[in-house]
Protein backbone atom coordinates (compact mmCIF):
# COMPACT_ATOMS: atom_id res chain seq x y z
CA UNK A 1 0.00 0.00 0.00
CA UNK A 2 1.11 3.54 -0.63
CA UNK A 3 2.54 5.38 2.35
CA UNK A 4 4.52 8.46 3.29
CA UNK A 5 6.99 8.71 6.16
CA UNK A 6 8.25 11.93 7.65
CA UNK A 7 10.86 10.81 10.18
CA UNK A 8 11.14 14.12 12.03
CA UNK A 9 8.17 15.15 14.15
CA UNK A 10 9.74 18.40 15.36
CA UNK A 11 12.65 20.41 14.00
CA UNK A 12 14.07 23.65 15.41
CA UNK A 13 16.40 25.86 13.42
CA UNK A 14 17.81 29.33 13.86
CA UNK A 15 16.64 32.10 11.59
CA UNK A 16 18.95 32.30 8.59
CA UNK A 17 20.05 28.70 8.85
CA UNK A 18 19.44 26.15 6.12
CA UNK A 19 16.61 23.63 6.37
CA UNK A 20 15.99 20.13 5.12
CA UNK A 21 12.79 18.23 5.90
CA UNK A 22 12.81 14.55 5.08
CA UNK A 23 10.14 12.59 3.27
CA UNK A 24 10.17 8.96 2.17
CA UNK A 25 7.41 7.34 0.20
CA UNK A 26 6.29 3.89 -0.74
CA UNK A 27 4.66 3.66 -4.15
CA UNK A 28 4.90 1.09 -6.92
CA UNK A 29 4.91 3.35 -9.95
CA UNK A 30 6.30 6.80 -10.65
CA UNK A 31 4.86 8.90 -7.85
CA UNK A 32 3.23 12.26 -7.93
CA UNK A 33 4.63 14.06 -4.88
CA UNK A 34 3.63 17.17 -3.02
CA UNK A 35 4.70 19.35 -0.12
CA UNK A 36 2.09 21.38 1.74
CA UNK A 37 2.50 23.89 4.56
CA UNK A 38 -0.02 24.58 7.31
CA UNK A 39 0.48 27.79 9.25
CA UNK A 40 -1.20 28.13 12.65
CA UNK A 41 -4.96 28.44 12.29
CA UNK A 42 -4.84 28.24 8.52
CA UNK A 43 -5.56 25.72 5.81
CA UNK A 44 -2.98 23.81 3.85
CA UNK A 45 -1.11 25.61 1.11
CA UNK A 46 0.77 23.90 -1.69
CA UNK A 47 4.50 24.63 -1.67
CA UNK A 48 5.53 22.53 -4.65
CA UNK A 49 4.82 19.37 -6.59
CA UNK A 50 6.64 16.79 -8.66
CA UNK A 51 5.01 14.92 -11.52
CA UNK A 52 7.85 14.15 -13.94
CA UNK A 53 10.91 15.67 -15.59
CA UNK A 54 13.51 17.62 -13.69
CA UNK A 55 13.99 16.00 -10.31
CA UNK A 56 14.72 19.33 -8.61
CA UNK A 57 11.53 21.34 -8.32
CA UNK A 58 11.16 24.91 -7.19
CA UNK A 59 8.23 26.11 -5.14
CA UNK A 60 6.90 29.18 -3.48
CA UNK A 61 8.52 31.04 -0.59
CA UNK A 62 12.01 29.99 -1.68
CA UNK A 63 11.49 26.26 -1.10
CA UNK A 64 12.76 23.49 -3.33
CA UNK A 65 12.58 19.71 -3.23
CA UNK A 66 14.54 16.95 -4.91
CA UNK A 67 13.03 13.66 -6.05
CA UNK A 68 15.43 10.73 -5.65
CA UNK A 69 13.95 7.55 -7.00
CA UNK A 70 16.81 5.38 -5.75
CA UNK A 71 16.16 6.53 -2.19
CA UNK A 72 12.37 6.85 -2.48
CA UNK A 73 12.76 10.34 -1.09
CA UNK A 74 11.41 13.80 -1.74
CA UNK A 75 13.17 16.07 0.75
CA UNK A 76 12.22 19.71 1.13
CA UNK A 77 14.96 22.33 1.41
CA UNK A 78 15.39 26.03 1.97
CA UNK A 79 18.79 27.74 2.06
CA UNK A 80 17.87 30.41 4.62
CA UNK A 81 14.90 30.10 6.96
CA UNK A 82 12.78 33.07 7.99
CA UNK A 83 10.81 33.33 11.22
CA UNK A 84 7.60 33.27 9.17
CA UNK A 85 8.45 29.74 7.97
CA UNK A 86 7.47 28.35 11.38
CA UNK A 87 4.61 26.00 10.53
CA UNK A 88 3.77 22.36 9.99
CA UNK A 89 4.91 20.75 6.78
CA UNK A 90 3.27 17.77 5.12
CA UNK A 91 4.60 15.54 2.40
CA UNK A 92 2.04 13.69 0.29
CA UNK A 93 1.90 11.14 -2.51
CA UNK A 94 -0.96 10.86 -4.96
CA UNK A 95 -2.51 7.43 -4.98
CA UNK A 96 -3.49 7.36 -8.63
CA UNK A 97 -5.57 4.23 -8.47
CA UNK A 98 -7.60 5.65 -5.63
CA UNK A 99 -7.62 9.31 -6.61
CA UNK A 100 -6.49 10.71 -3.29
CA UNK A 101 -3.49 12.22 -1.60
CA UNK A 102 -1.87 10.19 1.14
CA UNK A 103 -0.15 12.39 3.68
CA UNK A 104 2.71 11.91 6.06
CA UNK A 105 2.29 12.70 9.73
CA UNK A 106 3.89 16.10 9.31
CA UNK A 107 6.97 17.90 10.61
CA UNK A 108 6.52 20.86 12.90
CA UNK A 109 9.16 23.53 12.30
CA UNK A 110 10.13 26.05 14.95
CA UNK A 111 12.41 28.98 14.11
CA UNK A 112 14.56 30.64 16.76
CA UNK A 113 15.52 34.30 16.31
60/58 Cα distance (integer angstroms): 7
Give the count of beta carbons closer than 10 Å to the beta carbon of residue 111: 19
Contacts of 71 (CB under 8 A, 6+ apart): 24
Binders of other proteins among residues 61 to 90 (CB under 8 A) are: 90
Q: Is residue 98 part of the contact set for other proteins (CB under 8 A)? A: yes
Given 68, 69, 100, 112, the residue binding other proteins (CB under 8 A): 100
Out of 32, 62, 64, 86, the only residue in the binding site for other proteins (CB under 8 A) is 32
DSSP-based helix, strand, coil % in the chain, nearest 5? 10, 55, 35
Binding of other proteins by 3 (CB under 8 A):
no
Site for other proteins, rule CB under 8 A: 32, 34, 36, 41-46, 49, 51, 90, 92, 94, 96, 98-106
Amino acid sequence: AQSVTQPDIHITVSEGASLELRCNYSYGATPYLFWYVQSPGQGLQLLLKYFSGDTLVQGIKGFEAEFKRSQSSFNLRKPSVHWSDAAEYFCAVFSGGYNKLIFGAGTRLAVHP
